[in-house]
Amino acid sequence: MKLLIVEDEKALMDNMLSYLSRGDLVCEHASTFREAQDKLVSFSYDIVVLDIMLPDGNGLNLLRLLKDKQPEAGVLIISAKNALDDRIAGLELGADDYLTKPFHLPELNARLKAIFRRRKFQGHKEVQFNEISINTDTHDATVHDVSLILTLKEYELLVFFIANKNRVLTKQTIAEHLWGDHVDVQDSFDFVYQHIKNLRKKITAAGGEDYIKTIYGLGYKLNG
Amino acid sequence: MSLLTKITILNLLLAFAAFGIGGVRVYHKFRFEVQRETDFTLMESFDQVEQIIRAGVPAADLQNRLMSIARVDTAGPADRKMVFADTLAQHPVLKRPELFRKLTVTREIDGQFYRFMLMNVVIEQSDISRIITNVLQDLFVVLGGILLIFNFLISKWLLGPFKATLEKVKSFNLQSGEVPVFPKTSTVEFKRLNSFLAEMLAKAGKDYRSLKEFSENASHELQTPLAIANGKLELLLEAPGLDDSQLQLVQDAQEALSRLSKLNEALLLLTKIENQEFAPQTPVNFSDILNADVQIFEELAGMKGLLLSTAISPSVLLRIDPSLAHILVGNLLKNAIRHNVGDGWIKVRLDVGQLTVSNTGTAPAVPTDQLFGRFQKSNLPGKSLGLGLAIVKKICDVNAMTVNYTYHDGVHEVAVRF
């Protein structure tokens, strides 16, 4: 999966590159409007991560160019918080999803994979992880072809884990992925534990291996 | 009390004092003159009488009510001196004792000593003082009238520009920062005042704007390094070979950063609202916004064992920026969830003109109206930033809505009227 990240802040870009490059992604980057324009015209990408606010131009114009040149490419917009207008304009221009700064890197990773799935595997949206397979269209999960009866949250949790396999996911990252930013109304994120416990139980009951490792006090990790 | 009223009162007091002192002085002067004139007349009368007696007219024939002449045997040098004195005597017409001036003197005429006693009525003291008081009273009234007319003219013509300046300053709005144009005036002091005020207001406006800009820029610029630092920590979590205690340190740092980031975001939002960057354009369907937000929070409330119930009138229109509407509702609901009790409830009610969010909760530690202040936290520890209600208040302020917080018998209620 080939990715172009358009972001003018070098350190933020470095963060994204370091995190994403460790997976099965090929990442290129552009830090100005012009650079991004050149790359979009010359090369093709599966997904473009686009910061709307660029020093030398509006990212929305890049989005128009991209939709013109490479209509099959997926787009994830990064925008400032509360910049609702930019977000709506971006989605109307054909962006697949958006993230508001600041975001968790695992969240970015999961969103990119979701876009990739939607874009590339039309009619066959299957995620495979060892003996676990998930159909993201029907939301069916199986272990060794045994169906898992999962709640919506457990299903989302499993997809999130697989998208970020071998990565540490803090309770906060998981909670915000499943319940959104407002989850901080809860006194602690310990409720995440209950959902993970149930998910583990269901996978092992269906004959699957327990891949989820607890990192005490911090979070969880899916070892694959 | 206006400046002119004060000046007028002072003027009148001064005039009163001057008239008083003047009156006393006139009275004494007048009395002295009257007395001198009376004495002079008595002396003249006496001279005439003396002449007449020297001419041979018998003294007894000359006696009358105002003059007595008595023969005496001897007269010392003291008796020969003219002695003037005040005396009371019966007035022939008025039939009452009146003040008379009396001249007593002894003279030798043709070898015979006569003791003369001449009297003349004096203008009464009370008459003098009455006349003076009357005149001064009239004068005082006239002076007061003139002063009033003068003041009216002064305030109209002389102080007019000053009043206009005051009005202009009163209508000055720091938020718009528009320096008023002061009326032209020919008075040097007012000219100086106006130019000073124009300068000062322009500077105040400029300072205010740059302060607002600064706080917004500072908040905005803080976001990026915060996001970078947070990303670096997420990468650090991935580093191989970290033990549990090291991971815990990273996690704690992440939590602190996340809190800082949210705090900064809230402050940035407050500044943006203050800077009026959210202009309400067209009315939005507030009922839809509320329904959507309630759906988001229903699950979060349920996770804490709270019952969220609603009574939302459909199609309530409200002129507000949609993102502000979401923030307003979100903050109220968050607050109701966060500061609740076990097995509590939350009720959301929307009618035309009013939104109320009520919830169970423990009594607030501070008076409820103080909860709208920044960093006013309730007694609950936790993730609350202490800015949620401050943002609610600010949103209400810029959208001409009012918000009230009440607590009664274990129930908190926030009512927003629009």
Domains of chain A, residue spans: 2-120, 126-222
What are the tens digits of pLDDT across the range B282-329? Answer: 899 999 999 999 998 998 999 889 999 999 999 999 999 888 999 999
Answer whether B298 touches A (CB < 8 Å). Answer: no
Q: How far is B207 from chain A (nearest CA, A)?
A: 27
Answer whether B383 touches A (CB < 8 Å). Answer: yes
Decide if A2-120 and A126-222 have a common fold: no
CB atoms A102 and B330 under 8 Å = no
What are the tens digits of pLDDT across the range A2-57? Answer: 999 999 889 899 999 999 988 778 899 999 999 999 999 999 999 999 998 888 88
Give the SS3 label for residue A50: strand
Q: Average pLDDT, stretch B324-349?
A: 92
Nearest CA in chain A to B247: A218
pLDDT for res B382: 57
Of A11, A81, A185, nearest to B337 by CB-CB distance is: A185
For the entire predicted model, the pTM comes to: 0.68
pLDDT for res B370: 83
Q: Which residues of A touch B379 (CB under 8 A)?
A: none
Of A9, A16, A183, nearest to B224 by CB-CB distance is: A9
CB atoms A191 and B244 under 8 Å = no
pLDDT for res B381: 53
Percentage of the residues of chain B whose pLDDT score is greater than 70: 98
Q: How far is B334 from chain A (nearest CA, A)?
A: 6
Q: Which residues of B touch A11 (CB under 8 A)?
A: 224-225, 228, 231-232
Residue A122 has pLDDT above 70, yes or no: no
Q: Which of B:118-177 have CB within 8 Å of A? A: none
Q: Average pLDDT, stretch B250-262?
A: 88
Give the SS3 label for residue A41: helix
Pairing verdict, β B345-351 and A212-215: unpaired
Q: Which residues of B touch A179 (CB under 8 A)?
A: 299-300
The average confidence (pLDDT) of chain B is: 87
Highest mean pLDDT among A175-179, B118-122, B224-228: A175-179
Structure tokens at B290: 């509320």
Q: Which residues of B touch A9 (CB under 8 A)?
A: 224, 228
CB atoms A170 and B235 under 8 Å = no
What are the tens digits of pLDDT across the range A151-196? Answer: 999 999 999 999 998 888 999 899 999 998 888 888 888 889 999 9
Q: Which CATH architecture has domain A2-120?
A: 3-Layer(aba) Sandwich (3.40)
Q: How far is B162 from chain A (nearest CA, A)?
A: 47
Percentage of the residues of chain A whose pLDDT score is greater than 70: 96
Q: Which of A141, A110, A114 is nearest to A128 (CA)?
A: A141
Percentage of the residues of chain B whose pLDDT score is greater than 90: 30
Give the SS3 label for residue A90: helix
Answer whether B264 touches A (CB < 8 Å). Answer: no
CB atoms B247 and A215 under 8 Å = yes
Nearest CA in chain A to B223: A102
Of B220, B234, B248, nearest to A105 by CB-CB distance is: B234
Q: By the 8 A CB rule, do B130 and B36 touch?
A: no
Answer whether B281 touches A (CB < 8 Å). Answer: no
pLDDT for res A86: 77
Residue A97 has pLDDT above 70, yes or no: yes
CB atoms A82 and B330 under 8 Å = no
Residue B178 has pLDDT above 90, yes or no: no
The average confidence (pLDDT) of chain A is: 88
Lowest model confidence (mean pLDDT) among A78-82, B6-10, B84-88: A78-82
pLDDT for res A217: 78
Q: Which residues of B touch A170 (CB under 8 A)?
A: 237, 251, 254
CB atoms A170 and B251 under 8 Å = yes
Q: Average pLDDT, stretch B156-170?
A: 87
- Predicted confidence band of residue A124 (pLDDT cuts 50, 70, 90): low
Answer whether B223 touches A (CB < 8 Å). Answer: yes
Q: Average pLDDT, stretch B134-161?
A: 88
Of A18, A82, A182, nearest to B300 by CB-CB distance is: A182
Q: How far apart (Å, rounded) are the C-alpha atoms in residues B418 and B399?
A: 8
pLDDT for res A128: 87
Structure tokens at A216: 């005490």
Of B238, B262, B265, nearest to A167 by CB-CB distance is: B238
CATH of domain A126-222: 1.10.10.10
Q: Average pLDDT, stretch B232-248?
A: 87
For residue B162, CA distances in Å to A171, B3, B10, B192, B259 come to: 67, 12, 21, 11, 53
pLDDT for res A195: 93
- Predicted confidence band of residue B126 (pLDDT cuts 50, 70, 90): confident
Q: How far apart (Å, rounded) are the C-alpha atoms in residues A42 and A38?
A: 6
